[in-house]
Structure 1
Amino acid sequence: MAERPYILLSCGMSLDGYLDDASERRLLLSNDADFDRVDEERSRVDAILVGASTIRQDDPRLLVRSAQRRADRVARGEPADPVKVTVTGRGDLDPAAAFFTTGASAKLVYCASPGVPAARDLLGAAATVVDGGDPVDVSRVADDLGVRGVRRLMVEGGGRMHTQFLTAGIADELQLVVAPFFVGDARAPRFVHDGDFRWGPDHRAILAEVRQIGDVVLLRYALSDRFGMP
């Protein structure tokens, strides 16, 4: 059986733990220097995963932005951009979303079993729809990605996805950027939801690095004994 990918969770949050505010406009939690750092991380992975809610709300492209990094990937024999992956319960995604229409890399949609036929009809050639179980099991998703050749997976959100990977205990690394402001609105999405997490007062995560990047701070946590694998 293929090895499960190295799983990196990447997230930015406010001082009070929010991923966004409750407005329709996307809240920027980082700065240009950190966005460039994230781009470097993207250039080093084989696939990037976001939840379906993130696609609906933020319409992300999930591409490597730097032309040099894209060229370096091609020189290594890799696609210019990582594979795009999403997880959905209902499968009701817009095939015109930037997730599907930008970049030449493969797009994988892991859908809950009952929604697979409708999702395949809706998305057509825009993506490969994979049965992810009922409900979708992120451990099953990770194992299938390993079979497909994904060695490093970057999970960029949202809160439901971070929660599922953390509570499943399969994340290897967490990169958490903290912005220097508060959101203060309980309607806004949080970094994680309620769950049974492996890391608690009696099993503390290992803080591997603290780095100031302009006015934000990066916290890197080692979540498994595979931390730092290339």
Structure 2
Amino acid sequence: MKLPYVVLSAAVSIDGYLDDAGVKRLLLSCPEDFDRVDAVRADADAVLVGANTIRRDNPRLIVHSEQRRAQRSARGLPAHPMKVVVTGSGDLDPELAVWGCGGEKLVFTVDSAAEKVRDRLGSLAEVVSTGPVFDWHTVLARLGERGVERLMVEGGGTVHTQLVALNLADELHIAVAPLVVGQADAPRFLRPANYPGGPTARMKLLGCTQVGDVVLLRYSPKDLTCCQ
């Protein structure tokens, strides 16, 4: 079974944070970059986020552009990509925006939380357990079986960290915003982990583009060179 091509997408501050420590979401991207993200989302077969991200940001994870939705439909695709949420605890609110709009929804969890998620969400989403422990290889394999060829991952930091550490991310899209958060308790893009190749491994740069007032960096994390 061919696994999906996994694209990790994140907007970060210059000092590497996804958000600040406040209650209200810090908007790092500019309007031009939000539109770019919408285009990347429209090209994906599925969009994946962690439960903490939907609890904190309450995103809809839809394709906003009417033109892009029409182009998807013309290709025989649903107007919006499949929405995929991963959770270990099963603490998902059925009132969150992600369940109320746009296409197919799928939740991956573990055996101990599966019934809890089914009870809470009912018919809002299909629930799949990866077994006694959460297994990213199972998640990607199941998505591949469902025809997902391109998976866009939109957060949060725990999800990004695990996928990069497991060498399961094929491409990184990092939009660097011109601001500094400077708060130790704010969420970071990547957290401490044993990453492939260690600290001397250098990823291949696929592109560098200015989008409004942010800089988009595209890297191939599986294409590494090492320098001492």
Residue 79 of structure 1 deviates from its aligned partner by 0.2
Q: Give the TM-score, by structure 1 length.
A: 0.94
Residue 135 of structure 1 deviates from its aligned partner by 2.7
3-state DSSP of counterpart to 1:223: strand
Residue 62 of structure 1 deviates from its aligned partner by 0.2
3-state DSSP of counterpart to 2:222: coil
Runs of 4+ in 1 over 4 A off after TM superposition: none
Q: Quick check: 1:52–1:88 contact (8 Å CA) kept in 2?
A: yes
Q: Structure 1: any 5+ residue segments left out of the alignment?
A: 226-230
Structure 1 counterpart of 2:226: none
> Bigger shift: 105-114 or 61-70?
105-114
3-state DSSP of counterpart to 1:218: strand
Structure 1 counterpart of 2:195: 197
Q: 1:195 to 1:133 in 2, by over 3 A?
A: farther
Q: Structure 2: any 5+ residue segments left out of the alignment?
A: 224-228
Taking the TM superposition and a 5 Å limit, the aligned residue runs for 1:1-230 are 2-103=1-102, 105-224=103-222
Q: Distance in 2 between matches of 1:199 and 1:67?
A: 42
3-state DSSP of counterpart to 1:224: strand
Q: Quick check: 2:42–2:69 contact (8 Å CA) kept in 1?
A: yes
- When the two chains are superposed, the root-mean-square deviation of aligned CA atoms in Å is 1.1
Q: Distance in 2 between matches of 1:224 and 1:168?
A: 10
> Bigger shift: 131-140 or 164-173?
131-140
Amino acid paired to 1:26? R
Identical-residue share of aligned pairs (%):
53
Residue 194 of structure 1 deviates from its aligned partner by 1.3
Amino acid paired to 2:26? L
Q: Distance in 1 between matches of 2:24 and 2:143?
A: 32
Q: Distance in 1 between matches of 2:196 and 2:40?
A: 25
Structure 2 counterpart of 1:228: none
Q: Quick check: 1:46–1:150 contact (8 Å CA) kept in 2?
A: yes
Number of aligned positions between the proteins: 223
Q: Give the TM-score, by structure 2 length.
A: 0.95
Amino acid paired to 1:125? S
Residue 224 of structure 1 deviates from its aligned partner by 3.3
Q: Quick check: 2:203–2:219 contact (8 Å CA) kept in 1?
A: yes
Q: Distance in 1 between matches of 2:199 and 2:119?
A: 47
